[in-house]
Structure 1
Amino acid sequence: MLTRRELLKHSSAGFGYMAMAGMAHAAESTATSPLAPKQPHFAAKAKRVIFLCMQGGPSHVDTFDYKPDLQRDHGKRGKYGGALLKSPWEFRQRGESGLWISDLFPQVAEHADEMCLIRSMHCDQPVHPGAMTQMHTGTAQFVRPSIGAWTLYGLGTENESLPGFVSLSPPVGNSRNYGSAFLPAIYGGTKVGRPGSRFAQLARRSGSTQDSVPDIRNPNLSDREQRRQLNLIQKLNQSQMPAGDTSNVDGVIQSYELAFRMQDAMPSLMDLAGENAKTLKAYGADGGPTETFGKQCLLARRFAEAGVRFIEITHGNWDQHTRLTADHAARAEACDKPIAALLADLKARNMLDETLVIWGGEFGRTPSAQSGDGRNHNNKGYTLWMAGGGVKGGFSYGATDEHGFEAVENPCHVHDWHATVLHLMGLDHEQLTYRYAGRDFRLTDVYGNVVHDIIA
């Protein structure tokens, strides 16, 4: 039987997509595919992004923002009320750079000299939905394209049979985090599993995770029958082509074709059965509390190797208003080893220099205690780190005040962070625009400054 790729190339005139659309139009469509690789605005430091999104707001003062005054002033009244709560974890200087990192992340800390800590992050939203949406789209008020969609729109992808933007276990009910909004649908992220569902069940097994992409297989139609069905749908789509701007219809057509090709490419790429025991053990993907996130980090490396432009993994339940000591420890245990393995693996494969790895949540936590052993939301100051992809390793940028309440030195707003990520990818955030509803939109709206000080 012909493969899907062969069917795409060799469809007969009776039902071939190229025959129905016209050879000239098909050639033009291929040449102007919205996912075709595009030249950046200037020489890029990074070719791809792996975003490790810690949903819920991990505490910066317990992880990557050392505050000796907080330890000293434990129990005293804080700047905004409440009793200050010292960190239950020891901070130590790591690597040759001497970055202060807590014992919550001992294995990640071994890569301190690759990490760039932004310790002065801040955003506008003190609540999870708004802050998560702003972190991903630049705004909490309106539906806007996600940073992954903007990146794909600006650069295209390097693999025609895979999505250019993949979101592993995104939060339930918040498709904005990986959505394309008014950009053509082809730039939206492909969702792979969600927390506590099919992906989590598969991650508890050994071997393949190939069924974790929804509806990747069609049990009712053969490849040839699917091709005939798709050709009919595409002919109907072609008949609806509007005059002038055809980007929306083109996007739908391309997304259908990509979905057809994905049926071959995605299952084999996501099948971890061929990975050796040493690799699975390094990622913690062979069992225990690290198994789920370990498999996701390993998949992220495989996606990056295959040419996927933007990969996001969501790791949830960092919202500790109570039980900070036990639950933050459990969250960190589940992802510390996998993240360290990902960094080591990328470096060993000579991929880290061209892969921007990002770790962070939507905001941080307060230095003052909540319910005795917890911390409240804090959007005034928190830490995010990046590694590889052209950033300075072993470097700390910005600072919060002596207790970690708010950014006071070189404040870095979410808009500034977005501008910097795009810059590392070779994209000028002021030039990366899309015309919609009578105006040119961009990820950073009318804000944002590139943080040049963190760029190697």
Structure 2
Amino acid sequence: MNAKQRLIRLNRRSLFSQSAAGLGAAALASLDTRAEAAPRVSDYRSETAKGGLPELPHHEPKAKRAIYLFMSGAPSQMDLWDHKPTMADWFDKDLPDSIRQGQRLTTMTSGQARFPIAPSIYNFSPHGENGTMVSELLPHTAKHVDEIALIKSMHTEAINHDPAITYICTGDQLPGKASLGSWLSYGLGTENENLPDFLVMTASWTGRKEAQALYNRLWGSGFLPSKYQGVALRSAGDPVLYLSNPKGVDSKLRREMLDSLARLNRVTAESIGDPETDARIAQYEMAFRMQTSVPDLANISDEPKYILDMYGDDVTTPGTFANCCLMARRMAERGVRFTQIFHRGWDQHGNLPKDLPNQCKDIDRPCSALLKDLRQRGMIDDTLVVWGGEFGRTIYCQGSLTKTNYGRDHHPKCFSVWLAGAGIQGGVVHGATDEFSYNVTENPVHIRDLNATILHLMGIDSDRFTYAFKGLDQRLTGVEGGDVVRQVLA
């Protein structure tokens, strides 16, 4: 390849990175030769970890891995976790202006003449040593309140689904940023060689038929190299697209093809220096190893009957939330760093009394089983489990209201999430809201704070965990940063 061809093929990213490397080398050469330029490998790095940044973890991690149970569509906090018994006396009365305080509304309710209060029709009862109030819709999860930390004071600025879910998953309402799982994969490397660091599943649901779309940017790598993006597992056909060999291509031939392709890619990498070329080589190799590891992962026939019974009847049906939770445990056993399960259908703008119980039936028993399964295998102490959605729902009704039927609009000013497992203080209820479950009254927790807490439990200081892009040191917690919620830590 002549100089002109190389110049044409040299992209801007590699041009700037190579130029910066040259300038950096010149600058280092001018420094005192006694200075140690090479970073020291972290004292807290796992002996089995490969890749990642040499300075990470910043401190001793509590969690080796995390499982994020994401309820896409926004669960109704006052029907599940945020008990508001006084609202029974407010049925069909208008939400006071002093409570709303001019809050921005969605177009779905901003034109309503009234904002009638719709009290929850579900019974709550105390559970655990601290008497945490939990809805009758979550009887199995309620048994674990002494293991979980419930945060009632979550809040966000986003009021519509797509920017809100993009915000909590990537740290920004606008697309293009790296997701939480990608950050963890980039920073901490992998604990296994045969599966990706970051796996994603989208579970089936039985509530509202219509559901918000989920875009792969929610588990994308954004500005990070593409090898750190999440890999989505499917419930039908190949668990991962194109996992099987094409017709007429056996494993030996595919190995020869990959070897030839790798040689060509290495020539390109040496000529251009684009890190994406190295990422492609690594991804092809991972795909080859996944031909064996992924089918083994997805085959649950080796699970004892008592384990399957614990997760419920749906566990043997691929794509159900129960099956996904069991798969998440199997991934954790195999060293997958971050697993995220998206369960859609929580967007109850109407017919909540019919749809919400179905949603809870999908997830309640499997959530309980996952926590129990991790505990009895001795994995709960180094596995973090997170449950929550992108925002909450309004105490007032959207549309018409009866005592047996109502719906709720989006509500970003307060909602509930819970955490369990590694580094979490069980039995804690953190934060509080007013009697309308509308405004946070104690210990507000922004979604940036939640992400900072997750990173902290994985051994990462969110303020120091950056990636240079577009002239800015990018962070998962944005330029504002996030505060670790230390009150929920053990």
| TM-score between the two structures when normalised by the length of structure 2 | 0.80
Residues 285 and 39 of structure 1: is their aligned pair in 2 closer, same or farther, counting only changes over 3 Å?
farther
AA at the equivalent of 1:175? N
Distance in 2 of aligned mates of 1:173 and 1:35: 28
- How many residue pairs get matched? 412
* Contact map agreement 2:149 2:428 (CA 8 A) in 1: yes
Identify the match of residue 218 of structure 1 among 227, 237, 245: 245
- Give the equivalent residue in structure 2 for 1:24: none
* Shift in Å, 1:257: 1.1
Distance 1:450 1:386 in 2: 13
**Matching residue within 26, 44, 57 for 2:74:** 57
Conserved? CA contact 2:297–2:330, under 8 Å? yes
Cα pair distance change 1:391/1:264, threshold 3 Å: same
Alpha-carbon distance in structure 2 between the residues aligned to 1:70 and 1:152? 45
User: Counterpart of 1:49 in structure 2: which amino acid?
Assistant: A
Determine what percentage of the aligned residue pairs are the same residue.
Answer: 41
Name the structure 2 match of 1:444.
Answer: 477
In 2, Cα distance between equivalents of 1:405 and 1:357: 26
The aligned residue for residue 177 of structure 1 is 218
Per-residue deviation, 1:136 = 0.2
Deviations 1:298-353 (A, max 9, x none): 00000001100000111110101111011000000111111110011111111111
Choose from 141, 145, 157 the match for 2:174. 141
1:216–1:289: structure 2 CA closer, same or farther, 3 Å change rule?
A: closer
CA distance in 2, matches of 1:244, 1:223: 31
Cα drift, residue 247 of structure 1: 3.1
**Counterpart residue identity of residue 145, structure 2:** A
Contact 1:46 1:354 in 2 (8 A): yes
How has the CA–CA distance of structure 1 residues 428 and 243 changed in structure 2, closer, same or farther, with 3 Å as cutoff? Answer: farther
The equivalent residue for 1:381 is 414
Q: 1:276 aligns with which of 304, 309, 320?
A: 304
- Going from structure 1 to structure 2, the CA distance change for 1:289 and 1:316 (only over 3 Å counts) comes to farther
Matches within 5 A, 1:354-373: 354-371=382-399, 372=401, 373=406
Answer yes or no: is 1:98 the counterpart of 2:131.
Answer: yes
- Partner residue of 1:48 out of 65, 73, 79: 65
Deviations 1:19-63 (A, max 9, x none): xxxxxxxxxxxx996469984110011111100000111100000
What is the Cα deviation at residue 275 of structure 1? 1.4
1:301 corresponds to which of 314, 317, 329 = 329
Task: Write the distance in 2 (CA, Å) between the matches of 1:360 and 1:262.
Answer: 30
Q: What's the TM-score once normalised by structure 1's chain length?
A: 0.86
The amino acid across from 1:57 in the alignment is A
Q: In 2, Cα distance between the equivalents of 1:343 and 1:406?
A: 31
The match for 1:13 is none
Deviation at 1:357, TM superposition (A): 0.5
For structure 1, which runs of at least 5 residues remain unmatched after alignment? Answer: 1-30, 194-198, 203-209
Stretches of structure 2 lacking an aligned partner (at least 5 in a row): 1-47, 101-113, 204-211
Work out whether residues 284 and 294 of structure 1, in 8 Å CA contact, stay in contact via their aligned partners in 2.
yes
The answer to whether the Cα contact below 8 Å between 1:34 and 1:186 also exists between their aligned partners in 2 is no
Q: 2:88 and 2:333 mapped to 1: Cα distance?
A: 43
Look up the equivalent residue of 1:388 and give its one-letter code: G
Structure having the higher Rg: 2
Does the 8 A contact of 1:398 with 1:407 survive in 2? yes
Distance 1:258 1:172, change over 3 A: farther
Q: What is the DSSP-based 3-state SS (H/G/I as helix, E as strand, rest coil) of the residue aligned with 1:357?
A: strand
Q: Tell whether the 8 Å contact from 2:87 to 2:117 is kept in structure 1 after alignment.
A: yes
